[in-house]
Each structure stands twice: as structure tokens, then as C-alpha cells.
């Protein structure tokens, strides 16, 4: 009997490794790093070229006088000039500092609020739908109230940025926790994860994709609110990107205006790309991109 | 452990159920899922629960695993053990590697890192996945994932294994191999197994004892010792004969609901 089991297990070993080899054969596909980067870059470059070309064509068509719509070359030169002076960098720094402070605070509030609502049914009934309602409120509609409350100050901007971003982040957390597969919860509990451990080992990582989506949306809202705020709440001693937009319009300095807009656009794109990279990394780990990405 | 969980009086019982009842819902909508189920699993015994839909198989395993409370009756586990539970899906954590999945129960028990690493390697070798520790679950086949799940459950160091149709989603060839694997691990580790399946042949292949459950509510209607010597083959005439007998009784039970 013992020898029977021995031979049978030798047979099984060979079968198992054979079957495993067949099952995962051909799943690994390697594409060189350079080729991947090129494949991701050239469509963007092409789109950029077409956009600049279209802009130049509009300028050439004399649709608007050059002092209100300058060409790409003029704006490019202005951008270079701005980059050499202190004003752009000071404005950039102020705007980024406001964005960072506002966003970090929104993330803290959003995560705590989302977690609280996801955990407590009473809280969910009370404010769950209110969070969604807040999310639909255009942030610029908060400014009159914010200015009445805090006058034309940084506080008013901060208030609106947080109100714009926190609900999105909270909603991300709530939907993430809600959609944790019950099977994983049962498995986690059976493996000995209860209470906080269940959050640490199962719920938080399982909810991560939805939380990242919420963080990304929260960033978009806070960035927009910040720009709106800086446009409206000018006259604070510090210069900022939004304030520079307002000044350049008042001075009818359209190359300056457009070059500031380009800086804002690029900043937005960079942050968006960072969130995109985080999202892709998560989906890769989870295997969501596995076959579909090819 | 729940208040209704006690240590069985006799040392010869790994799992003891007496008069376990489970009712879902209340009032007019109440559904009786399990009706006075009494069952003892001896240490080292392999018990297969067979039944058609609605026999409360999964409910029963959830109750024994402590994931749900019985409405009545007692559930006892030898030494108050926390039984390991396996599902039809591997239920692996997709954000962790194979190694890290197996490591979770060890971390939760607070084992030191060096010991964890050693145990993980040993467990992965046990399920013939020693070379796949760095992979992620989605890179493996269904059968391999289920073996990772088995290794993760074994990491609980529990003498009692509860399995809820664990091979139901696999192809016949893979299932056949996993039967051999499970049988080997069960006998090496002297586990007590409560194995739920609707596949009668699988039950006859694996079980020391087959228990047939009725549907709605779940009750034990038939119990048979399987004394075919091991190792068994799923296509052997002895296994087929036992399977035929159980199937016949299962048909009668299902037919009862059609009237």
C-alpha cells in the first residue's frame, strides 16, 4: 500500500508539472521598453503638432487681430521669457502650495468621511446622499458664500477647494468598500482577520482601485476650484497662476495670458499622468490588464 | 467562538454537530435552511456531504467555520480549533503574490518573518508550486490557484478542513490530479475533512463516509461508509458502484420535490 501511494505520487508529480507548464505557456509577452515608450508617445506628439498647426492656421486666417489671438511662435517666445523671470515661478509656487495644502486636507477629510459613512449605516442614511449632492454642486457656486464668510482671502479659496474635492474622495472610498467581493471578506475572516486586521489585509487593498479613482477625481475638482478661486479672489498680495491670468487679461497682454494657460494645462497633464500611472500599476498587479492590454 | 460552540466531550470527535438548525429571515418569509442536523466527524475522517440545490451545504460549512451563527443546536470543534474553509473559487487576494497570499494567515497569527518564509516555502512545495511563489494569482491556471488556496488554508495549521465544492469549476483532468493531491495531504497531515459536493463520483472517490442531504430544508437522509481501499481511482468499478447507489437515492430525493 505504501509503495502504491509512492508510485501514484510520482505519477502525479509528473502530471502536475506537465499540466502547469501547458497551462501557463505563452502567457509571458515581452515588449522592449523603448518600443513601449515610443508607442505611447508618438500619437501624443502627432496630436500636439496638429493642434499647434490648427492654431497657426486660425491666426493666419486673420479671424481675430494678432493682439487678441497671437500665434504659437509669439506665445512660445513669451513662455521662454516668462520662464527666465521670477514672476512665473513665484506664481507657480503659490498655486502649487495652495493646491497641495488644499488637496492634502481634502484627502484627509474625504478618507475619514468615506470610511465613517461606509462603516455606519446610520451615518450613511444621514449624509450618504448629501455627499453625492455636494459632488454635483459646481464649486464656483460656493464662492459668493466663501467670500462672505472669509472675505477675499486664501481661506476662501481653501474652503472651496476642500468642498470641491472631499466629496469625490469620500465617494471613492464608499464605493470601494461597498464593492469589496463578499467572498474575499469571508476568506479573510476565515484566515483569522477580524476587526482592524480585516480592514488592513482585505478591505483597504480590495478598495484601493476605487479609492485611487476617487483621489483622481478629487484632484480634478480641487484643481478646477483652485483656478476658479484664483481668478476671482485676486488682490491678495501674492501672485499666482490664476491671478496672472486676470492681470494679463486686464492688461490685454494676450501672449502672457496664453503662455500662463499653457503652464496650467501642462501642470494638469503631469498630475493626471501620475494618477494614470498609479491606476495602471494597480490594474497590472490585479491582472485586470492581463490579456486585454495586448 | 460563538456561544453555541463547545468542545466535544469525546476525544474521538473532530467536529460535532447536534441538532443544528438555521433559519433565514423572519415571520412568513422565514426559510428553514437546516433542520436539526446532527453529525460527528472523527479525527482523520474524510466526510463528503452530497445533496441537490437548496440542501444547505454551504450554510452548514459557514456555521462550522464560525462565519455565521446557528439558529439552534450546538457545534463543537476539537480543541476549539478554527477550521480552514475553501470555496469553489480560490478567493485569493489579487493584489498579493502567491507567496504573500499563503503568508497572510501566518502574519495574522504573528509569526516572525524568518519562520513565515520557511513555512510558506514548505507549504508551496506541498502543493507542488515551489517555483511559482513570485507569480500573481492571475498568472496561474484555475487548478494552480486552487492549490494556492489549499496551501493558504493549510497555513492555518488547523486539523479541520471545510471544503465547499472546491473542484467544481475545474476540468476533469485537473480535478482528477487534485483529488490525488488532496488525498495525499489529508493522509500526511491527518486532517479531518468535511467536503461538500454535488458530484457523487467525486464523493465516492474521496470519502470515508458519504452523507446525503435532503433539500429544503436540509436534513441527513442517508449515510454510507465507503470502504474501498486507497489510493482510489475515480474510474474504478468500486467507485462507480457506490456512486450509482448514491445517485439513485439522490434522484429519489430530487423527484420528491417535483411532485
Interface pTM (ipTM) of the complex? 0.88
- Report the pLDDT value the prediction gives residue A8, as an integer from 0 to 100: 55
Q: What average pLDDT score do residues A59-88 get? A: 91
Quick one: pLDDT at residue A25? 66
Q: Are A23 and B144 in contact (CB < 8 Å)?
A: yes
pTM of the entire predicted model: 0.82
Residue in chain B nearest A191 by alpha carbon:
B105
Instruction: Calculate the average pLDDT of chain A.
Output: 86
pLDDT band at A77 (very low <50, low <70, confident <90, very high): very high
Looking at residue B82, its pLDDT comes to 85
Answer whether residue B116 shows pLDDT above 50: yes
Mean pLDDT of A89-115: 94
Indicate yes or no: CB of A192 within 8 angstroms of CB of B105: yes
Position A135 scores a pLDDT of 84
Reference A152, options A243, A57, A78; nearest CA is A243
User: Where along chain A do its domains lie?
Assistant: 74-285
Of B62, B91, B153, the CB nearest to A184: B91
pLDDT in tens, A224-250: 999 998 888 876 667 889 989 988 988
The pLDDT-based confidence of A103 (bands split at 50, 70, 90) is very high
pLDDT on residue A145: 92
Residue A29 has a pLDDT of: 58
Residue A2 pLDDT exceeds 50: no
Q: Does A1 touch chain B (CB under 8 A)?
A: yes
The answer to whether residue B169 neighbours chain A at the CB level (below 8 Å) is no
Closest chain B C-alpha to A209 CA, distance in angstroms: 10
- Give the model's confidence band at A292: pLDDT under 50 very low, under 70 low, under 90 confident, else very high: very low
Does residue A117 surpass a pLDDT of 60?
yes
CA separation (Å) from A124 to A128, A163, A198, A203? 4, 19, 21, 18
Report the pLDDT averaged over residues A125-131: 87
Mean pLDDT of A249-269: 92
> Could you read off the pLDDT of A24-46 as tens digits, one per residue?
765 555 678 888 888 888 998 99
Tell me, what's the pLDDT at B121?
Answer: 95
Q: Which residues of B touch A15 (CB under 8 A)?
A: 177
- Tell me which range, A198-212, A234-248, B4-18, B74-88, is most confidently predicted by mean pLDDT: A198-212
Q: What is the pLDDT of residue A293?
A: 35
User: How does pLDDT run across B218-242, given as a tens digit for each residue?
Assistant: 788 888 899 999 888 888 999 999 9
Per-residue pLDDT at A3 exceeds 50: no
Query: B193: pLDDT confidence band, cut at 50, 70 and 90?
Result: very high
Window A:84-143, CB contacts with B under 8 Å: none
Q: Tell me what pLDDT residue A6 has.
A: 46
Q: Please name the fold of domain A74-285.
A: MetI-like fold (1.10.3720)
State which H helix or E strand residue B146 sits in.
helix B142-154
Q: Identify which has the larger pLDDT, B176 or B259.
A: B176
Nearest to B141 among A1, A23, A208 (CB): A23
pLDDT > 90 in chain B, percent: 54
Exposure pattern of A95-113 as b/e (b: 16+ CB <10 Å)? beebbeebbebbbebbbeb
pLDDT at B184: 92
Long-range CB contacts for residues B205-210, cutoff 8 Å, separation at least 24: B205/B179, B205/B232, B205/B233, B205/B234, B205/B239, B206/B46, B206/B48, B206/B179, B206/B182, B207/B46, B207/B47, B207/B48, B208/B45, B208/B46, B208/B47, B209/B45, B209/B46, B209/B47, B209/B48, B210/B47, B210/B48, B210/B50, B210/B242, B210/B246
Compute the radius of gyration of chain A from its Cα atoms. 27
- Bridge partner residues of B164 (DSSP): B196
Residues 6 or more apart whose Cβ sits within 8 Å of residue A262: A75, A79
Amino acid at each position: 500500500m505504501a509503495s502504491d501511494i509512492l508510485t501514484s505520487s510520482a505519477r502525479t508529480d509528473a502530471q502536475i508539472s506537465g499540466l502547469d507548464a501547458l497551462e501557463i505557456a505563452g502567457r509571458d509577452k515581452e515588449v522592449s521598453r523603448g518600443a513601449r515608450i515610443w508607442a505611447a508617445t508618438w500619437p501624443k506628439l502627432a496630436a500636439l503638432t496638429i493642434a499647434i498647426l490648427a492654431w497657426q492656421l486660425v491666426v493666419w486666417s486673420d479671424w481675430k487681430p494678432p493682439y487678441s489671438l497671437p500665434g504659437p511662435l509669439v506665445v512660445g517666445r513669451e513662455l521662454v521669457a516668462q520662464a527666465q523671470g521670477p514672476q512665473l515661478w513665484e506664481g507657480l509656487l503659490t498655486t502649487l502650495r495652495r493646491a497641495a495644502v488644499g488637496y492634502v486636507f481634502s484627502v484627509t477629510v474625504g478618507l475619514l468621511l468615506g470610511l465613517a459613512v461606509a462603516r455606519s449605516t446610520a451615518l450613511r442614511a444621514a449624509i450618504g446622499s448629501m455627499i453625492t449632492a455636494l459632488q454635483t454642486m459646481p464649486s464656483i457656486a460656493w464662492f459668493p458664500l466663501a467670500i462672505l464668510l472669509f472675505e477675499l482671502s486664501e481661506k476662501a479659496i481653501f474652503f472651496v477647494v476642500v468642498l470641491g474635492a472631499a466629496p469625490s474622495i469620500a465617494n471613492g472610498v464608499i464605493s470601494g468598500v461597498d464593492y469589496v467581493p463578499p467572498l474575499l471578506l469571508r476568506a479573510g475572516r476565515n484566515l483569522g482577520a477580524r476587526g482592524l486586521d480585516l480592514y488592513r489585509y482585505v478591505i483597504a487593498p480590495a478598495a484601493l482601485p476605487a479609492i485611487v479613482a476617487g483621489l483622481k477625481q478629487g484632484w480634478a475638482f480641487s484643481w478646477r476650484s483652485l483656478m476658479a478661486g484664483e481668478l476671482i479672489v485676486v488682490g491678495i498680495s501674492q501672485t499666482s497662476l490664476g491671478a496672472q491670468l486676470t492681470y494679463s487679461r486686464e492688461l490685454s497682454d494676450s501672449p502672457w495670458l496664453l503662455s500662463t494657460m499653457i503652464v496650467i494645462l501642462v501642470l494638469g497633464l503631469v498630475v493626471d499622468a501620475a494618477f494614470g500611472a498609479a491606476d495602471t500599476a494597480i490594474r497590472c498587479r490585479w491582472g485586470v490588464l492581463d490579456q486585454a492590454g495586448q | 467562538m460563538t456561544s453555541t460552540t463547545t468542545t466535544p466531550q469525546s476525544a474521538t470527535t473532530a467536529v460535532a454537530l447536534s441538532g443544528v438548525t438555521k433559519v433565514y429571515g423572519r415571520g412568513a418569509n422565514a426559510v428553514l435552511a437546516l433542520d436539526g442536523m446532527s453529525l460527528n466527524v472523527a479525527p482523520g475522517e474524510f466526510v463528503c456531504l452530497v445533496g441537490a440545490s437548496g440542501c444547505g451545504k454551504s450554510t452548514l460549512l459557514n456555521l462550522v467555520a464560525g462565519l455565521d451563527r446557528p439558529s439552534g443546536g450546538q457545534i463543537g470543534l476539537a480543541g476549539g480549533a478554527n477550521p480552514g474553509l475553501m470555496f469553489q473559487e480560490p478567493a485569493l487576494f489579487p493584489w498579493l503574490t502567491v507567496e504573500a497570499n499563503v503568508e497572510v494567515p501566518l502574519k495574522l497569527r504573528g509569526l516572525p518573518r524568518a519562520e513565515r518564509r520557511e513555512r510558506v516555502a514548505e507549504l508551496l512545495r506541498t502543493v507542488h508550486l515551489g517555483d511559482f511563489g513570485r507569480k500573481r494569482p492571475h498568472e496561474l491556471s484555475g487548478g494552480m490557484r486552487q492549490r494556492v488556496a489549499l496551501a493558504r488554508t493549510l497555513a492555518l495549521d488547523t486539523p479541520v478542513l471545510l471544503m465547499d465544492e472546491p473542484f467544481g469549476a475545474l476540468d476533469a483532468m485537473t480535478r482528477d490530479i487534485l483529488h490525488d493531491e488532496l488525498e495525499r495531504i489529508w493522509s500526511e497531515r491527518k486532517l479531518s475533512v468535511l467536503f461538500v459536493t454535488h458530484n457523487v463520483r467525486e464523493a465516492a472517490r474521496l470519502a470515508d463516509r458519504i452523507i446525503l442531504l435532503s433539500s429544503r430544508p436540509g436534513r441527513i437522509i442517508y449515510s454510507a461508509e465507503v470502504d474501498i481501499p486507497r489510493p482510489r481511482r475515480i474510474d474504478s468499478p468500486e467507485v462507480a458502484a457506490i456512486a450509482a447507489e448514491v445517485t439513485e437515492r439522490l434522484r429519489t430525493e430530487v423527484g420528491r420535490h417535483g411532485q
